[in-house]
Amino acid sequence: MSYIPHTEAETGEMLAAIGVDSIDGLFDAVPESHRFPSLDLPPPMSEMEVAAEMLAISEVNDHGQDYAMFRGAGAYHHFIPSVVNHILLRGEFYTAYTPYQPEVSQGTLQATYEYQSMMCALTGMDAANASHYDGATSLAEAVTVALEVGRHKRRKIILSHAIHPQYREVARTYHQGRDVRIIGDRGQAGMIELVEMLDENTAMLAVQYPSFFGQIENIAALAEAVHEVGALLVVVANPMALSLLRSPGELGADIVVGEGQPMGIPLSFGGPYLGYFAIRRKYVRKIAGRIIGETLDADGKRAFVMTLRPREQDIKRERATSNICTNQGLMALAASIYMALMGKNGLRKVGELNYHKAHYAAERINQLDGFSVDMSKPFFNEFVVACPGNVGDINRALLEEGIIGGLDLGQHYFHLEDHMLVCVTETNSKEEIDHLADVLEGLS
């Protein structure tokens, strides 16, 4: 019986101890009219058969091992050192649960504390939580914090259109039941226009860094304008880009959120990922989700524990600001291992490889007839290419040549028909980039 270990004899002994004739007799409280329905499911399978079926399903997909990958847009194909997976596969980590009992959970607790510390280092913030579901929900939770900080008197939320379109959708899903206005992203407002929208009713303004289009803008001036009206600056940042760029904290951000997937987490068709959330110390009591803090045990030994618990739903119930219960524990562990392995020197080097390869690709593509790259602002590892024709057609042609091309921006932005968002990472060799440029040249 698969993962059920009972022998018939044992089952008999257990039933006798309970004093019931059969297991089915334990279900008397279930309305008889609805008890024991049959299920239209496929028949059982052995492990051998399941393994074969999963392999067959996986092979139908076009994936990053068989193709040269030039697609990013919020999910990135980076190198993951072997150590990450080996540690994640330790049952002590992946088959444990929330560290409600800290005495037997110090492994998870310390690893999470270290994760929080490294996220603070990357973002330039004072505190980070143990994570949210993904970058999009981290942004939605940042909106909640901003509303709390503004004591629900400030009801305007300004989002840049250059934040990932799905992140903005999720922020709207989260706050549809609340008295809040989310504006700023319907057109193509740039930094100056965003600043013009600020007023005394604004709770926060959010930008992406680098933007969804890959561009890097100096947000220091923006921070000043936001703070002038008493609002919060929220920055959605790609942590991989922060290996090179000045930290949002240094530039004046109040909350930094984003997607931790680039650091040691596979693409996995969109999840599970890692929503990181970092904040200035003065707002730390307003944040949702688990936070790990340092303390002492009864013998005075340093140890770690979930802290500021009274904010959370299981204690505060209907007065909690969020219902979040789990975090992305194992994904935070993956990011921790990744950041520890790369460290101060390695992460910068990965960042540089991304930067140089993306710029090499951009230069090559920009020289092609009919294609032009938007180089108006500095960029990290993604850039926008204006194409001579339909991006869908171009991507079909690339796929035949073993290349997964950039994202069709026209599907997300009306004004960007025939534009492609190309991503180049350290995993793309010069050969792959040259091949991409050569195939594109043949299409122009």
**Positions 109 through 128 that interact with another protein (CB under 8 A):** 110-114, 116-118, 120-122, 124, 126-128
Residues sharing a CB contact under 8 Å with residue 248, sequence separation 6 or more, in sequence order: 123, 124, 125, 209, 219, 235, 237, 242, 256
**Shortest separation between residue 159's beta carbon and another protein, angstroms:** 14
Q: In whole angstroms, give the CA distance from residue 257 to residue 349.
A: 23
Residue numbers 118-177 binding another protein by CB under 8 A: 118, 120-122, 124, 126-128, 130-131, 133-137, 164, 166-167, 169-170, 172-174, 176-177
Q: In whole angstroms, give the CA distance from residue 119 to residue 281.
A: 14
Q: In whole angstroms, give the CA distance from residue 422 to residue 349.
A: 21
Q: For 189, which DSSP code?
A: -
Q: Per CB under 8 A, which region of 33-41, 189-197, 367-375, 435-443 contacts another protein?
A: 33-41
* Interaction between residue 390 and another protein (CB under 8 A): no
CB distance 276 to 242 below 8 Å: no
* Interaction between residue 376 and another protein (CB under 8 A): no
**Shortest separation between residue 164's beta carbon and another protein, angstroms:** 7
* Interaction between residue 13 and another protein (CB under 8 A): yes
Give the nearer residue to another protein in terms of CB position, either 46 or 153: 46
Q: Per CB under 8 A, which region of 146-154, 182-190, 198-206, 342-350 contacts another protein?
A: 342-350
Residue numbers 276-315 binding another protein by CB under 8 A: 284, 290-299, 301-303, 305, 307-309, 312-315
Q: In whole angstroms, give the CA distance from residue 32 to residue 23.
A: 15
* Interaction between residue 183 and another protein (CB under 8 A): no
Site size toward another protein, by CB under 8 A: 212
Q: In whole angstroms, give the CA distance from residue 162 to residue 212.
A: 5
**Shortest separation between residue 420's beta carbon and another protein, angstroms:** 12
**Helix/strand/coil for 436:** helix
Task: Count the residues in the chain.
Answer: 444
Site pattern 46..65 for another protein (x: CB under 8 A): xx--xx-xxxxxxxxxxxxx
CB distance 287 to 321 below 8 Å: no
Which tokens belong to 107? 């492994």
Interhelix angle 135-149/165-175, rounded to 10 degrees, is 50
Residue numbers 215-254 binding another protein by CB under 8 A: 216, 218, 220, 223, 227, 242-247, 249-252
- The values of phi and psi at residue 208, to 5°, are -105, 145
DSSP H or E stretch at residue 230: none
